[in-house]
Amino acid sequence: MNGEIETQINLKPSEMLLHLGPQHPLQPGPFLLDLVLEGETVKDATLEMGFIHKGIEKILENRTYLQCIPITDRMCYLASISNNEVFCSGVESLMGIEPTERAKYIRTIMLELTRIQSHLLGIGEYATDIGFLSMFLWMIREREPIISLLEMVTGARLNHSFVRFGGVAYDLPAGFKEKTLRTLNEIRKKVEKHDEIMSRDSVYLKRTKGVGVLSRKAAMELGVAGPAMRGSGVDYDIRKVDPYLLYPDLDFKVITAPNGDVFDRVKVRLSEILESIYIIEQCIDMIPGGPFKQGYNPYLIKPKPGEVYSRVEDPRGEMGMYIVSDGTFKPYRVKVRGPAFATMQALPPLLKGAYMADNAAIASSMDSCTSEVDR
Partner 1 sequence: MNTTGELTLNMLKEKFQVTEMRVESPNRVWARIAPDKILAIAKFLSNELEFDHLSSIAGADYGEALEAVYQITAYSHGIVLTLKAKVPKSNPVIDSLTPVYWNAAWYEREAYELLGISFRGNPNLAPLVLPAEMMGEYPLRKDYKGYPNPT
Partner 2 sequence: MDYIQLAFDLLGNPWIRGVVGLIVVGVIFFSAIVMVWLERKFLGDIQTRPGPNRVGGRFGLLQLVADAIKLFTKEDIVPENADKPVHAGGPIVALTSAFLMAVAVPYGVVSFEGSEYLLAVTTMDISALYVEAVAAVSIIALFMAGWGSNNKYSLLGAFRNIARMLGYEVPLGLAVLSVAVMAQSLDFVQIVSRQEQLAWFIFMQPLGFIVFGVALLADLGRIPFDQIEAEEELIAGVFTEYSSMRWGFAFFAEYLHAIVGACLVVILFLGGWSGLPFLGTLFIPPVLWFVGKVFVVIMVMIWIRGALPRVRIDQVTDLGWKVLFPYSLINLVWAAAVAMVVS
Considering the rule CB under 8 A, would residue 307 count as an interface residue with partner 1? yes
117: partner contacted, choices partner 2, partner 1, none (Cβ within 5-8 A by kind)? none
Which residue from 19, 24, 58, 302 is in contact with partner 1, where contact means CB under 8 A?
58
Give all strands of the β-sheet with 317-325 in edge-to-edge order: 306-314, 317-325, 331-337
Q: How many CA atoms lie within 13 A of 251 on its CB side?
A: 3
Site for partner 1 in 232-251 (CB under 8 A): 234, 236, 238, 241-243
DSSP string, 28-79: SS--EEEEEEETTEEEEEEEE--TT---HHHHHHTS-HHHHHHHHHTT-GGG
Stretch that binds partner 1, among 49-57, 120-128, 153-161, 359-367 (CB under 8 A): 49-57
What is the smallest separation between the CB atom of 121 and partner 1, expressed in angstroms?
24
Distance (Å) of CA 179 to CA 148, 172, 281: 10, 12, 12
Considering the rule CB under 8 A, would residue 318 count as an interface residue with partner 1? yes
Element (H, E) at 250: none
What is the smallest separation between the CB atom of 17 and partner 2, expressed in angstroms?
8
Residue 82 carries which DSSP code? H
300: partner contacted, choices partner 2, partner 1, none (Cβ within 5-8 A by kind)? none
What is the smallest separation between the CB atom of 226 and partner 1, expressed in angstroms?
13
Please state, in angstroms and rounded to a whole number, the distance separating the CA atoms of residues 315 and 119.
7
Cβ atoms within 10 Å of 93's Cβ, excluding its own: 17
49: partner contacted, choices partner 2, partner 1, none (Cβ within 5-8 A by kind)? partner 1
Please state, in angstroms and rounded to a whole number, the distance separating the CA atoms of residues 320 and 312.
7
Which residue from 34, 129, 264, 374 is in contact with partner 1, where contact means CB under 8 A?
374
- By CB under 8 A, name the binding residues for partner 2: 16, 18, 24-26, 37, 39-40, 127-135, 137-138, 141, 201, 203-204, 206-207, 355-360, 364
Which residue from 24, 53, 193, 304 is in contact with partner 1, where contact means CB under 8 A?
53
Sign of torsion, CA 153 158 164 169? negative
Cβ atoms within 10 Å of 22's Cβ, excluding its own: 18
Write out the residues near partner 1 by the rule CB under 8 A. Answer: 1-2, 49-50, 53, 55, 57-58, 93, 220-223, 234, 236, 238, 241-243, 307-309, 311, 318, 320, 322, 324, 332-333, 335, 337, 341-342, 345-346, 374-375
